[in-house]
Chains A and B, each alone.
Chain A
Amino acid sequence: AQSVTQLDSQVPVFEEAPVELRCNYSSSVSVYLFWYVQYPNQGLQLLLKYLSGSTLVESINGFEAEFNKSQTSFHLRKPSVHISDTAEYFCAVSDVGDDKIIFGKGTRLHILP
């Protein structure tokens, strides 16, 4: 059965510092992987996704994630965070051919001034 583990429920980081949000998944088949972001009092928005091909995927606002099949990980990184990155981030996995997505429990990113 699929599952997603986000190892940190909260991550505090100073503005302009780098950050890594960790995500591990379990699945016995080929998968699609996603990071969604939820800004305060809003719905979820897709940040980036891995479908196939290059294992490094990027978002338009400077985040990147790398698919590591051997470690079943899909960690999210940003080299320099901004106060506007304050949000909750959800890692998610979907089996190829399945309509459903399984979400992790989320990591709340706190940007410290």
Chain B
Amino acid sequence: NAGVTQTPKFQVLKTGQSMTLQCAQDMNHNSMYWYRQDPGMGLRLIYYSASEGTTDKGEVPNGYNVSRLNKREFSLRLESAAPSQTSVYFCASGRQGAFNEQFFGPGTRLTVL
């Protein structure tokens, strides 16, 4: 099992460019999450999906959109990147009823110039 995979690992964008971060899990989990990690801020939830076909905003959703393509895949899109979106992005998945334990991907390091 690969667990949670994320692509790309690194990305550099110019202000105003768009991109999509991809996430996939092979653990048959219902719930999936996108977080951003910034120094001294911990992890902040951007969006989450409790099940296929549903998505909800987290703490910091502005400037992002998500798509739950199927049970395995959950993508995060930046339509017009800004320097404030420079961060490390983590995808996670979890099984409902499993006491909320989440499994994390390796992260995508994004720099917006």
A positions within 8 Å CB-CB of B: 9, 32, 34, 36, 42-46, 49, 51, 90, 94, 98-101, 103-106
Contacts and interface: CB of A to CB of B under 8 A. Distances in A.
CB-based closest 4 A-B pairs: A43-B104, A105-B42, A94-B100, A103-B43
B34 interface: no
A43 B90 contact: yes
B78 interface: no
Nearest to B109: A41
B88 to A, nearest CB: 9
Given A99-B50, A105-B40, A105-B41, A49 B106 contact: no
A42 B107 CA distance: 7
Interface residues of B, number: 26
6 contacts: A9-B40, A36-B104, A42-B106, A43-B4, A98-B100, A99-B48
A112 B44 CA distance: 30
A99 B95 CA distance: 9
Contact of B99 (A42, A45, A51, A90): A51
A101 B42 contact: no
Interface in B5-48: 31, 33, 35, 40-45, 48
A104 B42 contact: yes
Residue from A42, A45, A51, A100 with most neighbouring chain B CB atoms (10 Å): A100
Contacts of B33: 100
Interface string B73-113: 00000000000000000101010100111111111000000
Given A101-B102, A106-B42, 6 more contacts: A43-B4, A43-B107, A90-B42, A99-B50, A100-B48, A103-B43
B106 A43 contact: yes
B85 to A, nearest CB: 19
Contact of B100 (A43, A90, A99, A104): A99
Contacts of A94: 99-100
B63 interface: no
